[in-house]
């Protein structure tokens, strides 16, 4: 530990420079490789104006790959949010969004560190701020984060908004933040479960109201277009992309690769989803009872990623605050070792690209057995994380309570 302490002091001393170097290297990788296309951002940029012409869900991006037509898959409110970006020429829009994503990564890291530091954030603020710079430099190399930049995805922006909203003290701010984020992209709606678990009823009501407003705005702009999305296209996962491609790291994607066909909501998925829900609820209860806000948020987000029909690998940016939690939270050594040992290799080695290079096409469902097993990495480790949390946090709470009783006895004697 003495050696690790000296290493951290040295790294913190040069943390700002390490962040600059990391940003420059990642930028060089982007502009010299495939990631300079930002193909998903081009979908938002090129198709968002169609929300005003009534054909948002009839057109596809002119920049789509030959074998993968890319339509607009978010609610109409999502197109309205992206509309101001389309007023910029492509290069300005692309780089503005990249800068915004870096700032959101830093915000995500800083908020996670503040939650695990507790009162220590105030008493040793400079050290924790340097840690935020250092962690941002490191997490730029985490695969879901890099793929977010590579494709021009909105994951870091949404994650920053969701985390900020869920830990906000004002119920109106918290609920409105989640409702608006869910109006852009439906996945954040799972966050309402955290409000229910923590008995923040007003925040839950505000989130539902804000979401209703976003849906209402879509109908106000173009009723027929909104009606088509919510009553025809909603739930059509195949329109979003190939279910069984290695990019899809949801339970449905992993099961489909293993069984050789899209399992949809058949009994294998129902069984897997039910188990995930039960395990996640135990983990969430443990987090709430121990007062661990960050793990409570992460538990809910992991459950959403597991249950969603499609959870692209870049959606798993939520592993970034998990790694911070594992590094600083006082949990059992075995729990820390187990989770860091499984998550770090798949987060910092591109196992998704490894699988993509070995699948015939992104539309082919079946995989050889070993490749199907590798395709379970994200969802399997997410379930393992929830199991560890459900076991480790109650044990930590029991130890703290026992220590508190012992201290009280000593004071009385």
Cβ(179)–Cβ(77) under 8 Å? no
Q: 35 versus 115: which is more confidently predicted?
A: 115
Both 161 and 258 in one domain: the answer is no
Say whether both 26 and 129 belong to one domain.
yes
What are the tokens at 116? Answer: 């695990």
Q: Check pLDDT > 70 for residue 158.
A: yes
Q: Is residue 336 part of a domain?
A: yes
Task: Give the span between the Cα atoms of 277 and 283, in whole angstroms.
Answer: 10
Final residue in a domain of this structure, among 165, 182, 211: 165
Residue 251, C-beta contacts closer than 8 angstroms, at least 6 positions apart: 269, 272, 273, 276, 306, 307, 379
Half-sphere exposure of 332 (CA within 13 A, CB side): 15
Closest residue by Cα to residue 389 from 263, 286, 256, 320? 286
Domains of the chain: total: 2
Name which of 149-158, 195-204, 357-366 the model is least confident about: 357-366
| Domain end point (choices 141, 165, 189) | 165
Convert the pLDDT of each residue in 233-253 to its tens digit: 988 887 888 898 899 999 999
Q: Are residues 123 and 245 in the same domain?
A: no
CA distance to 123, 234, 310, per residue, from 44 (Å): 43, 18, 18
Mean pLDDT, rounded, of the chain:
91
Residue 216 lies inside a defined structural domain of this protein: no
What pLDDT, on a 0 to 100 scale, did the predictor assign at position 406? Answer: 47
In a domain, 47, yes or no: yes
Collapsed DSSP state (helix, strand, coil) of residue 269: helix
Examine the fold and report which residue of 138, 165, 192 is the final residue of a domain before the chain moves on: 165
Would you say residue 330 has pLDDT above 90?
no
- The answer on 1 and 97 residing in a single domain is yes
Instruction: Tell whether 159 and 249 lie within a shared domain.
Output: no
What pLDDT sits at residue 37?
A: 80
Paired tokens of 315 = 């959606």
In a domain, 173, yes or no: no
Do 259 and 406 sit in the same domain of this protein? yes
Among 211-225, 236-250, 290-304, 329-343, the minimum mean pLDDT is found in 236-250
Percent of the chain scoring above 70 in pLDDT = 94
**Domain limits for position 393:** 241-413
Cα–Cα distance for residue pair 35/314, rounded to 1 Å: 13
Q: Are residues 158 and 256 in the same domain?
A: no
What is the per-residue pLDDT for 238? 79
Residue 31 pLDDT: 84
**160 lies in the same domain as 263:** no
Together in a domain, 354 and 246: yes
pLDDT top residue among 30 and 82: 82
Examine residue 235 and state whether it is found in any structural domain, yes or no: no
Instruction: Give the pLDDT band of residue 405 (cuts 50, 70, 90).
Output: very low
Q: Render pLDDT for 63-75 as a digit per residue (tens, 0 to 9).
A: 888 778 899 999 9
Q: How confident is the model at residue 200 (pLDDT cuts 50, 70, 90)?
A: very high
CA distance 25 to 40: 22
Same domain assignment for residues 136 and 246: no
Q: What is the pLDDT, as a whole number, of residue 410? A: 44
Tracing tokens 């044990």 back to the chain, one arrives at 395
CA distance 302 to 347: 15
- For residues 121 and 153, what is the distance between their CA atoms, to the nearest angstrom? 31
The encoded tokens of residue 158 equal 């949404």
**183, part of any domain:** no
Query: Are the C-beta atoms of residues 371 and 359 closer than 8 Å to each other?
Result: yes
Residue 317 counted as domain residue: yes
Average confidence (pLDDT) over 217-244: 91
Residues 270 and 153 in one domain: no
pLDDT tens digits along 166-184: 999 999 999 999 999 999 9
Query: pLDDT by residue (tens digit) across 76-95?
Result: 999 999 999 999 999 999 99
Region 367-396: mean pLDDT is: 90
Residues 255 and 152 in one domain: no
How far is Cα 324 from Cα 294, in angstroms, rounded to an integer? 10
What is the per-residue pLDDT across 119-139, written as a single tens digit (0 to 9) for each?
888 888 889 999 999 999 999
Residue 191 lies in a domain: no
Cα separation, 165 vs 177, in Å, equals 5
């Amino acid at each position: 530990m003495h050696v690790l302490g000296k290493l951290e002091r040295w790294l913190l001393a040069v943390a700002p420079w390490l962040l600059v170097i990391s940003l420059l290297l990642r930028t060089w990788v982007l502009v010299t490789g495939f990631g300079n296309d930002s193909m998903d951002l081009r979908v938002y940029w090129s198709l968002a104006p169609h929300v005003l012409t009534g054909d948002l869900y009839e057109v596809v991006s002119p920049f789509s790959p030959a074998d993968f037509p890319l339509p607009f898959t978010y609610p109409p409110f999502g197109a309205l949010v992206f509309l101001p970006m389309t007023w910029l020429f492509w290069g300005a829009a692309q780089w503005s969004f990249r800068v915004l994503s870096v700032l959101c990564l830093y915000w995500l890291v800083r908020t996670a560190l503040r939650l695990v530091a507790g009162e220590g954030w105030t008493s040793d603020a400079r050290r924790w701020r340097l840690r935020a710079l250092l962690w941002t430099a490191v997490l730029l190399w985490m695969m879901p984060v890099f793929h977010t930049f590579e494709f021009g995805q909105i994951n870091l922006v949404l994650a920053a908004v969701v985390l900020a909203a869920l830990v906000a003290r004002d119920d109106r701010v918290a609920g409105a933040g989640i409702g608006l984020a869910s109006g852009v992209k439906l996945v954040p709606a799972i966050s309402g479960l955290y409000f229910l678990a923590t008995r923040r009823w007003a925040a839950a009501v505000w989130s539902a109201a804000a979401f209703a407003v976003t849906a209402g705005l879509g109908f106000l702009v173009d009723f027929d277009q909104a009606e088509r999305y919510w009553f025809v296209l909603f739930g059509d996962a195949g329109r979003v992309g190939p279910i069984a491609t290695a990019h899809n790291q949801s339970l449905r994607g992993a099961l489909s690769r293993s069984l050789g066909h899209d399992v949809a909501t058949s009994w294998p998925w129902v069984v897997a989803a039910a188990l995930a829900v039960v395990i996640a609820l135990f983990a969430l209860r443990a987090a709430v009872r121990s007062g661990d806000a960050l793990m409570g948020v992460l538990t809910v987000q992991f459950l959403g990623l597991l249950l969603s029909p499609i959870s692209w690998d870049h959606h798993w940016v939520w592993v970034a605050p998990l790694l911070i939690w594992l590094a600083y939270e006082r949990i059992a050594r075995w729990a820390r070792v187990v989770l860091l040992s499984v998550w770090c290799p798949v987060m910092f080695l591109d196992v998704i690209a490894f699988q993509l290079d070995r699948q015939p096409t992104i539309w082919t469902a079946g995989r050889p057995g070993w490749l199907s097993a590798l395709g379970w990495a994200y969802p399997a480790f997410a379930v393992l994380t929830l199991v560890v949390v459900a076991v480790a946090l109650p044990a930590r709470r029991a130890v703290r309570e026992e220590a508190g009783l012992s201290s009280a006895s000593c004071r009385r004697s």
